[in-house]
Structure 1
């Protein structure tokens, strides 16, 4: 009954948004506000493997302030731009469908208690949100393509902070502040999932702040190449990057500070992949382990000098900096 009521409000809001798309104005319905379609919520555009992701651009905009409204907006059909204003308390992993932009308002957009499940979807943007205290993952991406996860603050998820797996492809994870997290960013579901994952799992991780996150920053299976560049690693007590099970990871232009094990091959029962490291800054950190060859990323990109990455990332990552 709770979900039916919210769905009715979303449907009414979207109908009004479509009707007034050519004029200025805002129509509110019990925590759901609909706006004209001309507005594009997401700031900037993705670099790396998620380039070209546009989310809900071209669709109407709704502003949500309740869990009911958010759940039904995220799972609705068609392009939609969802503006989160306030704290959304979730009880589970909630589905995000194709052609969605989900953006927090200022520093007020928060998701807690549960997380977002981007499953069997394409063209999704998640930006400028604070995630905390999920009883599962904060963000899970599976069987999905063209996903951009950008400028979020992510902490204290029971399982993974930001996991990408099960044949997903074309993903960029950028400018996020990860902290207070053990298992952080898994890439690749399991050692026996190669039949789905080979030739997929192309992900770019750039300008993220891995702030004392223990491990999996990321931990990679099968994806080749996976591009990890211009990130700031600080006090990671387990390890920074692990390349396993046929993966090929390029670790480039990062700043590692107080990280005894910045990168290595193999992890737990997973066999070694390949890892190439170049132009990294290692401050009070180990030398890392490399081996094998890695395919060249298929896109152009701008690389900041590693010596400048700490200041660039700490001043520009997370919520409120888009």
Structure 2
């Protein structure tokens, strides 16, 4: 009994020590949990504990993504393709080390419960990832570069989405949320998305550009050398911009964009280095989920250490 108590005490001490280390261990060293809107509406589990299937060709990937079965799909190597590959419901798509999707993108349409992680998307000829008419989607720890249109667009009544720990670089139109000002009949009450711990590295615009979604939560992201603007709240949107780090970004956030009228935007606890102060106004609905906010001044180091493909344990 004494030995058992000693073992339990050692285990308890080790657990406490490990818990105390969580603030200093870089996020790249461990998996990161799901936080934000994708935890709502029943949560997002993807393929769950289904035994994984590994794919290494465009034909095998296309077949696995579009299957009606619950699946965990592991992507191996570089898969060259074109157009948009349809992703059906109840899928986890996760890249092995170095996994790359080149020349095409993923179309998550009329689907629910989808997870996409640890992939590099490059040179897509439509969108990198397009989410439409879909709910409970988690897009995490991917890298996006040098594509044709949007890197990661979410539209047409999609809801309960989290976009976390991704890196965007070498690209113009980064993230659109809501595709047009006249789609309110579908989009009002939807398009609720969380964007956190993403790295925008020299990208140009739409980080994100928001219509209708309220509240949309943009927190703890790092904006470095952004060209045109960071966040735009337009057309009935409500956006909370919280605890982000803006560096060499003249226009961090503003109301309205092009012909779209102003939405509302609340900005708080952001950090600015060589950047403008941003434009805010109005109120935003309350955030319904719990989350931990990193101090804004530490966000650059936290995000650059952990964002993008290849930064998680798989």
The reply to whether TM is greater than 0.5 is yes
Contact 1:58 1:79 in 2 (8 A): no
Please tell me the root mean square deviation across aligned C-alpha atoms, in Å.
Answer: 1.0
Matched, 1:65 2:53: no
Are the counterparts in 2 of residues 60 and 79 from structure 1 also a CA contact under 8 Å?
no
Please report the TM-score for the alignment, with normalisation by the length of structure 2. 0.88
Equivalent-residue separation in structure 1 for 2:185 and 2:81 (angstroms): 33
Tell me the CA shift for residue 113 of structure 1: 0.5
1:261 aligns with 2:283: no
- Structure 1 counterpart of 2:206, from 202, 207, 216: 216
1:163 paired with 2:163, answer no
Partner SS state of residue 38, structure 2: coil
Paired with 1:224 and 1:95, the residues of 2 have a C-alpha distance of 27
Q: Which residue of the other structure, out of 73, 77, 100, is the alignment partner of 2:68?
A: 77
Partner of 1:92: 83
Give the structure-1-normalised TM-score.
0.86
Q: Secondary structure in 2 aligned to 1:72?
A: helix
2:177 pairs with 1:187: yes
1:44 offset after TM fit, Å?
Answer: 4.2
Q: Secondary structure of 1:92's partner?
A: strand
Say if 2:111 is the partner of 1:121. Answer: yes
Where has structure 1 moved over 3 Å in runs of 4 or more?
Answer: 42-45
2:194 to 183, 199, 204: 204
SS at match of 2:114: strand
1:45 paired to 2:39: no
5+ residue gaps in structure 1? 1-41
- 1:285-309 CA distance string (max 9 Å, x none): 0010000100111101000000000
The answer to whether 1:104 aligns with 2:104 is: no
State whether residues 241 and 264 of structure 1, in contact with CA within 8 Å, keep that contact through their aligned partners in structure 2: yes
Between the aligned partners of 1:216 and 1:44, the Cα distance in structure 2 is 25
**Structure 1 residue 43 displacement after superposition:** 4.6
The secondary structure found in structure 1 opposite 2:99 is strand
Q: Tell me the secondary structure at the aligned position of residue 95 of structure 2.
A: strand
